[in-house]
Structure 1
Amino acid sequence: MTHRDRARGCLLGLAAGDALGAPAENLTPEEITRRWGRLTEIEGGGTDDTEYAIFAASLLVRHGHGLSAADVADAYRSEIIPLVTGPMRGAGFSELGTIQALRRGLTPPLTGLVHSHGWSDGLAMRAAPYGIFCPGDPAEAARLAEQDGLVSGSGEGILGGRAVAAGVAAAMGGAGPAAVADAALAAVPSDSWTARNLARAREALPGPAQELGRRLHEAVVIRHYPWTDIAPEAVALAFAAFLAGDGEVEASVTFGVGLGRDADTIGAIAGALSGASRGEGGVPARWKARIGPATGKCLPVVAGRHVLDVADELARGL
């Protein structure tokens, strides 16, 4: 399997998981079951997850391994902020806080520290391109993702992005599901919330499949917090879905979005990991047919870009 095939599978999987999970965002597994039984078909488009991943890929195409937090901040100032004339539809708390910080003249890492949402999964949802760009090199993928994360996040939010980038890089290098999860754990401190949740989610996997969702929620979900975009939670659930599906795209993504919570981001991460593992041919044809160019509803700068073209650009830059 070529790097291009894996790259295309990765971003197709991300976009498909994002779109499939979008209607289930913030719902419980019980409510998802009541409404759909099991979500298997893409009805609408994706969310900010796909658009921010496309934007991250554009930074890599321009700057490569020399990408810095300053480069990312400059791109926000020149390409995102001038086009934000009203509300950023669907944007996460961390990105909204970053826009405000940059408008005030702050620079990284303060832009990711001054708001109270540094732990969000905003980096994790868009970290896959860094893994694509560093096939077989999880440490470098995590380092590059952190440069992006310093602009909009801090602490566990950055660690979640490091874990996803490292996992995708391992998958791009041909690692199996267990080794992909090992790479994610190796990219974050062992005493971090992210590492503990990844380990807890992995430990919850053995046992009857019908109880798996409940066990995973008990292991990592923060029930008393009103929002669901918590990086250590979403990243752990996404890796659990990837492992539960044994790296197969449809099994991983459908299980992931069925977990609810930040379902579009969980689906996007599970789709990126499994797509990098199985390649473009591993993404169901019916899902691929539903993935069109980005609408730019959150980030106008990426309007009209298709994830397959973006994947090809990243693969050429390897």
Structure 2
Amino acid sequence: MAGALLGVHAGDALGATVEFSPWSAIRASYPDGPREIVGGGAFGWPPGHATDDTDLTRAVLLAYLESGDEDVVRSSARHMLDWLEGRWPGRAQGSNPRDVGRATLTGLRRFAASGDPYTSGCGQGQAGNGSLMRCIPTALAVPDRERRISESMQISGITHSDTRCTVACAAYNEMAAALLEGQPPAEAVAIGQTTAQELGSKPVADAIGYGSQLKPAMLVLTGQTFLEDDAAGYVLDSLSLAVAAVLDERPFPDVVVDIVRLGNDADTNGAIAGGLLGARDGAAAIPPRWVSLLQFEEEFHAAATVLAVRRSAA
């Protein structure tokens, strides 16, 4: 379980350096891809510091760690709002996040006004990857498939209620859960695609199918992915790249580096792919020199232990 959380964190931190950069610029600066966590980037991140991807993953994780709170959706929304309003580690009290996506900002402002996380989402037409990047704690915390799918979709819907987003989160978490249970990657991907089909989303099922045909090591040769939004923030592009990553048999760092070096929304694509790769390979597969820099490394290890104990007792 720690591998999944740290995989998100590591992919995020690695990609933060080149976020918004095109493939060509990354290739010029990093001929072999960015292979170290050095921070910087558009927002001047300290090395290993969480961006919104990891921070909001932590918000959902905190909701699952709390005991006695039966409404994990509402709890997730409250923690996300804490992040937005500056009640968060590593930031001055009341300070704004360095980066926040448009749909995330809109959804959290609506939640702050209404107190209802079930109606705060932006609705159809806003299909960014801002809920997919934070969804993996549900796969770790919930052993029951029906509940896992429901909560994946509801937590997405706090900000991203377009069905492409909600179903993408459900399918992704079914893949992650299958990997955690020891299923091989191809079987996990098939489970994710079946989930999308069961939920009636052909676009999500097709995105998983397309990702199954992509080879990250080939994509980085030209930078041409033929993805709809060129991996610049569209939820189905990020989902396709994550599928391609988890089916790639190479070690964790080689695959994550290739996902990141494609550019554009590099940190989020790295985080989403890193979560599945971490679920596949475990925490030991992530380079220790990367892990040692991660802002929430100790907290995520401790959280994974708690969730694993709970799961074994369920």
TM over 0.5: yes
Query: Deviation string for 1:192-251 (max 9, x for gaps)?
Result: 32221221221234xx94456658611x2325xxx922111111112212222x273112
- Counterpart of 2:25 in structure 1 is 31
- Counterpart of 2:299 in structure 1 is 306
- Counterpart of 2:207 in structure 1 is 197
CA distance in 1, matches of 2:257, 2:180: 21
Q: Which of the numbers 54, 57, 61 marks the counterpart of 2:58?
A: 54
8 Å contact kept, 2:63–2:76: yes
8 Å contact kept, 1:93–1:117: no
- Counterpart of 1:301 in structure 2 is none
8 Å contact kept, 1:241–1:252: yes
Identity in percent: 25
CA distance in 2, matches of 1:123, 1:141: 15
**RMSD of the alignment, in Å?**
2.9
Query: Deviation string for 1:269-306 (max 9, x for gaps)?
Result: 22211111121211112212222338xxxxxxxxxx73
TM value normalised by structure 1? 0.81
Displacement, 1:317? 2.5
Displacement, 1:264? 0.9
Displacement, 1:72? 3.4
Displacement, 1:41? 0.8
CA distance in 1, matches of 2:67, 2:154: 12
Where do 5+ consecutive residues of structure 1 fail to align? 1-6, 295-304
The residue type equivalent to 2:228 in the other structure is V
For the pair 1:143 / 2:136, whether they are aligned, the reply is no
CA distance in 1, matches of 2:292, 2:86: 33
- Counterpart of 2:244 in structure 1 is 240
Query: Deviation string for 1:85-123 (max 9, x for gaps)?
Result: 453321222221112212332623321036x77412111
Q: How many residues matched?
A: 293
SS of the residue aligned with 1:217?
Answer: coil
The residue type equivalent to 1:192 in the other structure is K
Question: Structure 1 residues 129 and 106 mapped into 2: Cα distance closer, same or farther (>3 Å)?
Answer: closer
Q: Which of the numbers 157, 165, 177 marks the counterpart of 1:157?
A: 165
SS of the residue aligned with 1:187?
Answer: helix
- Counterpart of 1:265 in structure 2 is 268
Deviates more, 1:57-66 or 1:104-113: 57-66
For the pair 1:167 / 2:171, whether they are aligned, the reply is no
Displacement, 1:33? 0.8
Where do 5+ consecutive residues of structure 2 fail to align? 39-46, 88-92
8 Å contact kept, 1:39–1:254: yes
Query: Deviation string for 1:151-205 (max 9, x for gaps)?
Result: 1111212122222211111111011111121122122236432221221221234
